[in-house]
Amino acid sequence: MQTSNKIRMAISTCPNDTFAFHGILDRKVDFLGLDFEIELLDIQQLNEGLFQDRFEVAKASFHAAAVLSERTLVLPSGSALGFGVGPLLLSAKEGASPDNALTSPEGTRTLCPGEFTTAAMLFQLFYGEAIGLKKTRVAHQLFSEIMPSLKERSADFGVCIHEGRFTWAEEGLFLVEDLGTRWERETGVPLPLGGILARRDLKQETLARIQRVIRSSIVYGLEHREETLPTMRKYAQEFNDKVLMAHVDLYVNDWTVELGEEGRKALSVLSQKAIEQRIMSPSQAAIEVYQP
């Protein structure tokens, strides 16, 4: 069990995280006696770090949260979920789709941004038949390298997240499907992308303080939007301020401040989908949200 006030915390470099955690990164909020040691990493590195017990608290894909449900709790603040926020399945060629590709030993190649990302889970959920029939092979690549790989034709399809959601058309790529829209249509709940996971072995008092600091940082960012821009620019792949703020407007919402009942319902649906895909065992604990 954690006994010191030192908290190893990691978040992603995407604008919604650097916006939400600006208050912590620049020490604009009260740390309540905690000593945060912060790393900024790619989402798959965050997922892997949690599997390796490198962090007490970290942003992670809800796919990883499903796998780690018996070791972690989701904090009520800091999540990215909503309507119209899902990853996009893109193609290097207009009119192409993994479903209409020819079955072959090689198949087409689809890039996902990491094995335990929610983006990879959605592709598996909606294109499992194409994978099973060997119409496409899934490979994993750093999210920022997926669109360049499509442009170079070293891959046929790619599941795009983060800033690329806003820039794919000007890069000359083609939309196959908005995976978030399909999730919404089939489930009726907002799409849970990622959240802040904390280890279950943390003391309750420590968990409560961490939650309060994170919530304060999110509220601070929402109240000082312009002040967050240098922090976002420092880590972003895209430096256009309008794109950065569009990213924030899409991914930082009321559910980021507090998951609430609808956010918790979305996580329950995700747990059920994970069981259907055998990502979680039926006997495994569902994704659980910490109750302060």
Helix (H) or strand (E) holding 275: helix 260-276
Cα distance between residue 59 and residue 65, in whole Å: 10
Is-catalytic flag, 162? yes
Burial of 250 (0-12, 13-18, 19+ CB in 10 A): middle
DSSP one-letter code for 53: T
Cα distance between residue 158 and residue 90, in whole Å: 5
Cα distance between residue 63 and residue 46, in whole Å: 12
Q: Which residue matches tokens 């909020």?
A: 29
Cα distance between residue 4 and residue 39, in whole Å: 19
Annotated catalytic residue, options 22, 162, 224, 247: 162
Residue 116: CB atoms within 10 A of its CB come to 24
Catalytically active residues, by annotation:
162
